[in-house]
Structure 1
Amino acid sequence: MRLLLSDKELNINFLESDENKYIDLSKLRISNCIGCFGCWTKTPGKCVIRDDAVKVYPIIAKSDKVIYVSKVKYGSYDTVMKTMLERAIPIQQAFIRLLNGEAHHVQREVAMKDAIIIAYGNIEDEEKEIFKRLIERNSHNMNFKSFNVIFVDEENLEEVVAKEVRKWEK
């Protein structure tokens, strides 16, 4: 499965199917994680908060190719993307594994992913470096087997996203 997950509406020619999903997070109701760990203890693999996030994180888990589109704020994902990724914690277990000599959560039936992170906005060089380091660190818990971070100005965003989506067709 392939997933295009964006923090804003994109006007691109995207053919959605069982294997290709486009999710515009700005149109969804996603609450903040409350840190209750219910997804690990009370209802393993399922968040106890019943909002739109419960429809999104299973698709994240199943996808082997992902494109995440997010504005960068303070060296991180913008609020709606960060909130969704935090709410995806049910796709991991409470248990710890060693990965490359580091402690990381055990995955709960999560496909290995080829990931493209398209970061947009007026981003300073230092902020770009912080964001790249964040993606590198997150890649272990997000099950990325490969990833690439692409920085673009907002006015070129849709063109760059469309180009990356077309690569899925090859």
Structure 2
Amino acid sequence: MRIAITGTPGVGKTTVSKVLGNKFGIKVIDITEAVKKHKLYTEKDEEMDSYVIDFEKLENFIKEIEEKEKVIILDGHVSHLLNPDYTIVLRCNPEIIKERLEKRGYKPKKVLENIQAEILDVCLCESKGKIYEIDTTGRDVEDIVSEIIEAIKNKKERKGIVDWTEKYFDYLTLEIR
């Protein structure tokens, strides 16, 4: 079983994935780290300081791990594109994402692009199959993990619970001005 933990950078995917994986002894694949470490990309986008993923190579890498593991967690903002059996879409207040990404040293353009992606529900809109959306804003990681366990156990599906568009509309028009 492939469980995707997806969402905009800064929503808490890696923290949640690690706690969930450790709690149940599930193998967690950090997509960003795997792509870098195993050269699963076609090129590096210097302007955005990111890698262009070779999805065929990444899929083969994941399949090798699946031969040994019954359940895996795919941690990354593109994990929902990797044919998961169940997708958890983490969401977070754009202001918090902005603070987190700035602390990580993201360039202003990349911060803005990710805030806009969060406001527009990009990861949620791209997800297919069984989807469960969670707003992580102001929540404890153990509480979020408990909700994920409950959702998976009961095959719950939920989406459309977060709408940042009205409150953060100005972020969507920043590049136009």
The TM-score by the shorter chain falls in which range? Answer: 0.3 to 0.5
Ranked by relative contact order (alpha carbons within 8 Å, sequence separation 6 or more), the top structure is: 2
Greater fraction helix: 2
| TM-score normalised by length of structure 2 | 0.40
Greater fraction strand: 1
